[in-house]
Structure formats: structure tokens, C-alpha cells
Structure 1
Amino acid sequence: MSNTRTDTATLLTLTFVVSFCSFAYEFVYSELLTVMYGGTVTQYVITVGLYFFSLGIGAALSDDLDGETLGGNFFRTEVLLAAAAPAGFLLIVGLNSVRIPQAVPAELVWTVARLPVVVVGFLSGFELPLLTRMFDDLDGDGSATPSWLRTAGTRIHDFVVAAVGTLWTVERTEGRRSGLSVVLAMDYVGGLAGAVVYARVLYPGIGLIPTIFVLALLNGVAALVFVAHFGAWSWWPLGGDEASASAGTGGNAAASARTDGSDRSLSAARVSKTLLVVCLLLTATYAGVVAKHDAADERLSQLYLEQQIENEYPPGAIRATVTSQETTAYQHVIRYDRTWTGTGPNPHFDGRTERCLRLGAAVQLCESWADSYHEGLVDVPMSLVDPGPDTKVLVVGGGDWIAVDHLREYGVTVDHVDLDGEFMRDAKTDPFFARWHDDAYEYDRLNTTVADGYRYLQKTNETYDLVLLDIPGATDDDLLTLYSTEFYRSVRTHLSEDGVAVTWGYSPDAYPEHHKAFVNTVGAAGFTRELSYWVREDLDDDGETERVEQFYVLAPGDRPRLTGDGATRYVRAREEHYGAVEWHAVPHYRGVRENSIFHPNYDILVDT
């Protein structure tokens, strides 16, 4: 009996482990597809749906697996999962790292990128039915279930039945629980643990790439533990044949004690020696990757990021080299050098190499246009307000402190709100930023708050003459709030009588669907007038200026021209660019819905 109880405890432990992995795989793929394609809600919903559909197909087909070799089929399933899950992960990354010909339909790429979800879900669907049937073989009368588990299960059951009895009529069932109920309970516990550990430990602690190898390692270990405990196999993996591996006693005490034939499906696990060697090699490889997870994560992500950046230019035009990358609680910070490797003059920047910075998928700053961007964000709209300490400016975002440095030149009072305190702290001393912000965080008329911009506006009673939105591009669901009618309505509410709001924007020619949704959103928030302008810079030092960034000034009514009496020195020096800029009514596009927090329009997100 003691051996049988050990066997059932081992099966239940394996149930916990494989369920842990199964649920965590679902979240890994959901997050990976979000990183690759954007749209958190969309990717999670589709991935979970596909995963459970595949899980159901696998469970339905599990009855067709040979009942005489349940143990062997369970071992094969775990080895296949250990191989398929990381391979599918790398396939998705690879699809987003190579140049796919335009002739290939986007729908085909979409389908291929989700095949790993289907494969892993299908294989995981085999696990629970196989474990349930093996548990029933071992624990025919229920006496082999560990006493601690029976006691805990009974107490939980009594509590739940009592709670259910307050609303429904119940009839207590006494006696042994079915193998399905015991295994299913452990499966749910493992699933919950997988979700919690993934969200709280694995993903934030070691990152997405090492996590997939941790989970595959657990599948490999589960397969080896199962064979070591239940299989009658030769300890020398390259010796003997498959028949001897399935029929021999192998030295396992538990296996030699089985004489009643009820557990033949476990001891007769026909494990191919080749498959066993594959499992050992996979497990050892994954163990090495996990042990060096920092180096593996950095190298793989660096290769992917460099290829992604290079793919934004014509083939052979740019070589990207990631110099550093860090992940804060809110964003992935990537520094990289881009080097011109094309033929002819470099049309993108002066010189051969320059340093750039990305936050996630969006370019945040490059040396060639850092000044012009902030001149467009600050120095142009300052022509619409009076400089001085009585003028109040709100900066939402701008954790690099550069916008604050430009505002300091006008002596205004600045409230600065940014969500990422870690990034703001690092930017203070980072040489890459310090050359532009000139210790602006020490400005005596600056009040900085680490908070979400939307929440800040919900709580403050301040009004502002100028609101600068120095926020990331609309590339992710997490940013939908900052592109919503509710947010822009809060901005409008906190403007003074003559106040204006300023934001950079994507070109309507390059991103027409985004532009339409954005315009309708700000219009629905109460902004009736807009002033659009470009900042220009001679990026490649050829004597001609190029368009760098487009900005929008938003107001709930008429405002003066940029080139009026209060024009800044920057605007006056570029009269030819800004003299013809005029205010226009905010247009409205028919059939285009605005973006709202509770009714999002995903067209406002852009695919970078």
C-alpha cells in the first residue's frame, strides 16, 4: 500500500507541474503575440480562445490513445511539449525578424504565428485524460490517495457544500471521489499557481524568453521523473531494445511490487530509447539556458531588436547595434546605434553612426532630431502664451526632462507628471539624456509627480495655460487611456480660459485610420480648433531641411496666430515655416468612432 500511495502522490505532483506549465504557456504566447503585433486585449482573447479550443480537441482525441500504454503516451506528450513550446516561441519571433515578401498575404502570416498556440494546446489536451485514467488504475478503491490530501479535500468540500447550501438545495455525497475529480482539482490548483507565478515571479523577474525555457524544462523534468518512477526501463539509455525497456523490471522497487496487473499501463511504458535520449538532451539544454538566463535573454532579444530596426529601412541601408537595454515596471528601454551602410549619401542623419533610444516599439529619441523635436513641442506653442512665473504649464510624460529644460528658458511654472519613476531617476544621470536636459530636474519652479497622467487630471484642481503631451505613440493597448475621449476631455477641463494643449502626431498620410480616429476623439472631447505644423531640421547636413515631426495645437475655441506679437525667438527665426500656419476647425470623419476607455476603437493603435 505504501508504494501505491507513493505512486498516486507522484501522479498528483506531476499533474500539478504539467498544469502549471500548461496555463503559463497560454500567458507566455499571449504576451509574446502582444509584443510582436500589439493590441493586448485582442491578442490575449484570441490566444486564450485558440488555446482552449485546441485543448478540447486534444482531450476529445485522448480516448483514441492506446489504453495499454498510457504511461508511454504521457511521456511522449511531455517530451513533445518540451520541444514544441520553445520552438513555437522562436517561430513567432522569427516571423517578426525577417522580411516577408509583400506578396505573402497578411492573413497567412497571422495564421502561422498562431499555430504554436494550437500545437501546445492540442498536446496539453492529452495530459489530463491520461493522468485521470492512470490515477484510476492506481487508486481503484480510493484508499491510495494520500491521507493529507483526503483530509484537505474533505474539509474544503464540506466548506463549499455549506456555502452552496445557502442558495441551493444540496445533497451531500459521501465516499470516494472519482479519479477525475481528484486529478481535476489538482489540475486547477496547478493552473492557478502557474498564473500567479508567471505574473508575479517569472515574467517580471527573468523576462519572457527565459520563462519559456523554464516551462519547457519543467515538462522535460516531469517526463524524466515519470519514467524513473514508473517505467521498467534500463538505466543505461543506449542499451537493450524497446521491448526490454517496456517489459523489464529495471530495479524500480515500486515497479517490482506491482503484481495485480491493475497498473500495467504505467509499468509497461514503452519508452523509445531514442526519445529518452532526446528528452535528456532537451532537459540538459534548457537547464543550461535557465542557469544563464540573463545572457540568453539579452542575446536573443538583442538579435531580434536589431533585425526589427534594420527592417524599417531598405535592405542593406542601416546596420543596428543594440548597446544596452533595461526593463522598468512600465517600459522596455533600448539604446542602439544605427550605422549607414547603404550606397550614396546618408539621407537619414549627418555622419555614419548616431545613437538612438526606443521605448518599447516606438523610437523616442535620436541625436539628429532631439533638439528639433523639443523645439516643436515647446518653443513653437510658447508663442501662444505669455512667458513668466504666472504662466502654468503641465507636462504629461517627458520623463527624460528635456521638455522641462526648454520650458525653464521661459521662466514658467511647470507641473510634470510621468508614470515611470525608475526611468525618470535614471535619466537624471544618464549621459545620453544629460547632454540635453542640463539638470532641468533641479528647476526651482518645477513640481514633479510620479503618477498616471489620466489619474492626475482626475484628482487635481489646477488649471493650465499650456498642456504638453510628451507621451509615447499609440502602439499598445496600455496607452489607449491616453488617447481616449475621457483623457482629452480632462485636458480640456483643466485649461485656462485662453489655454491650449499640444501633442505630436502621426502623419495622416502614413497612418490614415489612426488619424481619423484621433481627430474624432479630440473632437468628441470638446476641442473645436486645431493648428497643425511640422518642425524641420537639416538632418543630413546637405543644406536642405526635412520634415521631422508633426504637432497639433488643440483648443476649445479661437486662438491667436503663432507669428503674432508674442512669437518666440525660435518662431520668429523661422517665419517662412510658421507664417502661413493657421487655425482650422477640427474635422469629423463619418463612420469613424472615437476612442473611449469603455468602448475602445483599436484603429487608433498603429502598427510600427
Structure 2
Amino acid sequence: MPVLNHKMQNYIQKNNPTLIIFSLLIVSTCAMSYEYFLGAMSSYLLGDGRIQWALTITAMMVSMGFGGYSSRYVKSHEKMVVINELAIAFAGGFSTLFLYAFNVYIGSAQVVTLGYISINGFILGFQVPLFMHILRKAGESFGDLVARVTLFDFLGAVPAVILYIYLVKGVGLVQGTMLLGLINVSVVLLGIKLFEPELSTRFRRVAKILVVAIVLLLLLGLTFGERAVMGLERQLYNDRIVYQEQSDFQRIILTKRGEDLRLFLNGNIQFSSLDEYRYHEALVHPAMDLAANREKVLILGGGDGLALREVFKYPEVKEVTLVDLDPAVVGLARTHPVITRLNRGSLDDPRVQIVNQDGYKFLEQGSGLYGVIIVDLPDPNNEALAKLYTREFYTMVRRHLAKGGAVAIQSTSPYYANEAFWSIVNTVEAAGLDVAPYHTYVPSFGEWGFTLASDTAINKSRIKVEVSTRYLKQDMLPGMFVFPGDESESTNEAVNTLIHPVIIDLYQQAWENW
């Protein structure tokens, strides 16, 4: 068995290899946390979290294998531990900022993301055998060595996920990895001290200089990271950013050009102040007129209060329950002067009850019946949102619908995402509701589609517009239910379910062309 020089061997044995094992735990924790951050960033930048997380795990596992195998060629295990941790502190610490910048200035970062993940996995796989060699040379028995190293390597997953959750909520994706980089630096300092007998004076001096440089860079990143993100985000939007916030659920951006205020959630436009009335009038009024009773209304989504504004045009409305997952969106819509002017203070009307909860959970746990249900949710571009476009979801909507009630569902574009639109229509129908799809033109969105549904047969000719509107007029209604040839029903009759969430692929494939 190879043996360290006596000075170091005695030092390690005196500390009962605890510090080395502790270092391994930190290394494992940071490496796995980086994977979580990179997986989340790739999902945010590239979409389809199912694919991105699968690619993340695969790239990590494969590269860990290559890293472990490559460690056989290392001569100085102690020196390589220090070098590796310096590399991961810098590369990992700035990983999400680099990927975001790459996506802004170059384009799709899929290959670069996988490259970063692979490097991280390689270093983690590389590190574990290094620690094994060091502990083995210090006199650890092989059986105890493998058991302890394996245990603490995998135990790193527990603090890793805790770190990830709290850092994402606390400081976000970019500054979160910078804090992880500082944790990695602590391992470098510990390694320099622990392996001092095996490291040359020159190596220790250079390593300490690099530690100082990396710490300063990371501290600068933490100080100015938010400004850097703001600068990068300005490149993604055509107009000036006047508000931005990272809530617990999404990135909220407001842009402004002249009189045009736009809300973006995770980079996707939600409304333009210049034409939002077209969308919300078309969404709300057909269902409100069709319903046999509109005293109780349920709005799923619509945290901006704009659909609610249209609902309150009907004096019969006595109670509205608005369910929106993100209290930050509702809070913004309650306080921003332009948005409150647009929604006419509807969110503070005493008739409205706001529930900050996932719409699926609300329907699952609730028991109330509503004469009108408005489903004003973002497009189904990820798994969490696709769940809100499933047959199971619409079945629960039907169960909460009072007899003779009406449902209105925003259903993406029948032109830009034709198959996704008709899949939504088919899915609502598969839930046992009669459907009447319709469309209108919203300049900031383009051609947009909706699904009108009811538990009774829909007589479209009886729908009237009997309240004050800026856009929607009675003589427009018949044409809204007629689709031109290039928007007509797709031959694909796919129904979106929890087990087979086909809507994600249909939606993403469609929008790739635009």
C-alpha cells in the first residue's frame, strides 16, 4: 500500500480522517447543487423540463464515470483535489450567468449547457477516487474506506437539494451558483491546510492567490449579479424594462414603450396595455352571456385582474373566486399604477376572494359550484402548466360547474399552434362538456383562440353582447366561431392527459417555427 510521508500521515490519523470526509461531503453537496441549478437554467432557457432534466442526469452520470476512470492517471492526488476545487469554484460559480449570457448573445445554449454539466460531473467523478486514494494511503482499511466514502458521497444529495431550494428562492439562479462557488473555495483552503506536507511552497502560494482572485470575482458577482442579469434581460426585450422580480414561481418583467406596458412571465408575454381589452373581452363575455346563472364566478389564473374587470360589468355577479398561484403577480396588479388603471381596481373589490394556490389543487380540494368558470392560464409550455390542460383537469372543472353553467378557456393560437389548439378543444370535449371553439385577433399575440364549453348543448346564435365593450360587438360573434382554412380543425385528435401530456410537444413543435 502506498504511504504518505510520515508528517502528513500522522496529521490525518490524528484527525481521524474526519476533515477529509467532511471535504468530500462539501464537494458532493456543491456538485449536485450545481446540477440542480444547471438543470433549472436549461429548462428556463430551452424549455421542456422533461427533456432537460433527463439530459442533465444522463450527462452527469456518464461524465462521472469518465471522471472516475481518468483519476487512475493522477500522480499527486492531494494537489489535484486543490486544482479541481479551484476549477469548479470558478466554472461552477459563474455557470448560470455564463449560460444566460450565451443564450442572450449567441442563441440556444443546449450544447454549452450539456458541456457545463459534463464538466461538473467529470470533476465530481474525478474527486471521489482521489479522496479514496488519500484515505487509503493514510491507513484506512479498504472495506471501511469504500463504505464511508460511498455513504458521504451520496449523503451530499440531502444538503444539496436543501441548498438549491433555499438559494433559488432567496437569491435566484445566477447568484445562487456564486454562493456555491464560495463554499467550494472553503474546500480549497481546507485542502491547502490539510495536505500541506504534500504541497510545495510555490504551489500553496499560487493556490492562495487564485483563491483570493476567485473570491473577489464571486463577491463582485454577488454584488452586481442582479445588475448583470438586468443588463442581459434588456437584450431579450425590445422595450425598456421598468420592473422585474424573481418570485417563488417565476420571473416577472414589465416593459414600457410610450403608452404600451407589457407583462412577461418567464419571458412569455401576458398582456399589452394597448390591446389587452380585445383578449379579455373575447375570453369573458361569450361565457358570461351563455351561463344560466352568473352570481358565482370562478377565475383560474388571471392574477392581473383584467378578466375580473370584465366579469364585474355584470351587476348580477355577487361573488368571484380568483385562484392564482403567484401572490407576487396579484400584488403587482394591485399596486402598479398603470395596471390598476387597466383593471379598474378590480382585485380590491369586496366581492372577490383571492386564493393563492395551484388551480389543479384548488379544484381537487374544493367543493363549490360556479355558474361561470374562466380559465385564463399561461400557455402549456411546461409540465406544470400542461397539467392544467388535461382531461383530468377539465373533468374537475365540469364537476364545479353549476347546471347550465359556462366555461371559457384561453386555448393558445389556432394559427401558430394549430394542433395544440385543437388538442385543447378535444380534451375539453373528452371531459364531458359540449364545446364551441372560437377565435379573434389580438395585435400583440396574433390570431388567438378560445374554447367555450358547457354541460348543456351550446346554441351559439343565442349569445349576445349586452354590456359595454371597446372591441367585442354583437355582429362579430358569428364570425368568431368560423375558422379559416389554415386554422381549421387538425386531423390529429390527440387528447391531453396526465399520463400522456401530448400538449407539450404539440405546443413546442408549433412555436419552434415562429
Query: 1:125 and 1:564, CA in 2 relative to 1: closer, same or farther beyond 3 A?
Result: closer
- Corresponding residue for 1:327? 246
Equivalent in the alignment of 1:37: 46
1:570 correspondence with 2:461 = no
1:282 aligns with 2:214: yes
CA–CA separation in structure 2 for the residues paired with 1:573 and 1:88: 49
Deviations 1:45-66 (CA, angstroms, capped at 9, x unpaired): 2201211111111011211222
SS at match of 1:16: helix
**For the residues of structure 2 that align with 1:578 and 1:282, how far apart are their CA atoms?**
63
AA partner of residue 471 (structure 1): L
* Paired position in structure 2 for 1:93: 100
Q: Which one-letter code corresponds to 1:577 in the other structure?
A: M
User: 1:446 and 1:282, CA in 2 relative to 1: closer, same or farther beyond 3 A?
Assistant: closer
Matched, 1:230 2:184: no
- Secondary structure of the structure 2 residue equivalent to 1:570: coil
* Contact 2:323–2:356 (8 Å) recurs in 1: yes
Letter in 2 for 1:455: K
Q: Which residue of 1 aligns with 2:116?
A: 116
Alignment correspondent of 2:231: 303
Question: C-alpha displacement at 1:562, in angstroms?
Answer: 5.6
For the pair 1:455 / 2:361, whether they are aligned, the reply is yes
C-alpha contact (below 8 Å) 1:384/1:562 kept by paired residues: no
CA contact (8 A) 2:46 2:110 kept: no
The match for 1:596 is 497
The total of aligned residue pairs comes to 495
Change (3 A) 1:536 1:202: closer
Aligned to 1:24: 33
Corresponding residue to 2:77 among 59, 70, 77: 70
Partner of 1:561: 460
The answer to whether the 8 A contact 1:380-1:571 is kept is: no
State which of 205, 209, 213 in structure 1 corresponds to 2:178.
213
- Residue 5 to residue 195, structure 1, CA distance change in 2 (3 Å): farther
Q: Distance in 2 between the 1:185 and 1:603 partners?
A: 39
Amino acid corresponding to residue 185 of structure 2 in structure 1 = G
In structure 2, how many angstroms separate the alpha carbons of the residues matched to 1:51 and 1:464? 49
In structure 2, runs of 5+ residues without a counterpart are 1-9
Superposed CA RMSD in Å reads 3.1
TM-score normalised over the length of structure 2: 0.86
Corresponding residue of 2:131: 131
C-alpha contact (below 8 Å) 1:500/1:554 kept by paired residues: yes
Match of 1:404 in 2: 308
For 1:446 and 1:503, locate their aligned partners in 2 and report how far apart those are by CA, in whole Å.
20
Give the whole-Å Cα distance in 1 for the aligned partners of 2:442 and 2:29.
Answer: 54
AA partner of residue 217 (structure 1): L
Q: Which runs of 5+ in 1 are unaligned?
A: 101-105, 143-175, 232-254, 256-265, 310-317, 340-351, 540-545
Question: What residue in structure 1 maps to residue 290 of structure 2?
Answer: 384
Query: Take 1:582 and 1:40, find their aligned partners in 2: how far apart are those partners?
Result: 35
Question: Which letter maps to 2:20?
Answer: L
Q: Distance in 2 between matches of 1:496 and 1:416?
A: 17
Q: TM-score, normalised by structure 1?
A: 0.74
Counterpart residue number, 2:268:
362
Q: Distance in 1 between matches of 2:376 and 2:302?
A: 5
**Letter aligned with residue 205 of structure 1:** G
Tell me the equivalent position of 1:147.
none
Question: What pairs up with 1:225-264 in 2 under 5 angstroms?
Answer: 225-231=190-196, 255=197
**Structure 1: how far apart are the matches of 2:365 and 2:247?**
25
Aligned counterpart for 1:336 among listed residues 248, 255, 258: 255
Provide the C-alpha distance between the structure 1 equivalents of 2:427 and 2:113, rounded to a whole number of angstroms. 32
Q: Please point out which of 193, 215, 233 is paired with 2:159.
A: 193
Structure 1 counterpart of 2:227, which letter? R
State whether residues 518 and 604 of structure 1, in contact with CA within 8 Å, keep that contact through their aligned partners in structure 2: no
Spell out the pairing of 1:449-598 with structure 2 (5 A cutoff): 449-535=355-441, 549-561=448-460, 564=463, 567-570=466-469, 574-582=473-481, 593-598=494-499
The SS at the match of 2:42 is helix
Percent of residue pairs identical = 22
3-state SS of paired residue (1:22):
helix
Question: 2: distance between equivalents of 1:51 and 1:583?
Answer: 51
- Give yes or no for contact 1:324–1:335 (8 Å, CA) kept in 2: yes
Q: Identify if the C-alpha distance between structure 1 residues 497 and 571 changes in structure 2 by more than 3 Å, giving closer, same or farther.
A: farther
One-letter code aligned to 1:211: G
Partners of 2:262 and 2:94 lie apart in 1 by 32
- Equivalent position SS for 1:97: helix
CA separation of 1:95/1:524 partners in 2, compared to 1, >3 Å: closer, same or farther? farther
**Alpha-carbon offset, residue 547 of structure 1:** 5.5
Q: Distance in 2 between matches of 1:447 and 1:278?
A: 56
Q: Which has the higher helix share?
A: 2
User: C-alpha distance in 2, partners of 1:534/1:213?
Assistant: 46
How many angstroms does 1:484 deviate by?
Answer: 0.9
Conservation of the 8 A alpha-carbon contact between 2:436 and 2:458: no
CA distance in structure 1 between the aligned counterparts of 2:345 and 2:441, rounded to whole angstroms = 25
| Counterpart residue identity of residue 560, structure 1 | N
Aligned partners of 2:111, 2:214: CA distance in 1, in Å? 27
SS, match of residue 56 in structure 1: helix
| In structure 2, C-alpha distance between the alignment counterparts of 1:84 and 1:356, rounded to whole Å | 35
Preserved CA contact (<8 Å) 1:380 1:570 = no
User: CA 1:268 to 1:6, structure 2 compared with 1: closer, same or farther past 3 Å?
Assistant: farther
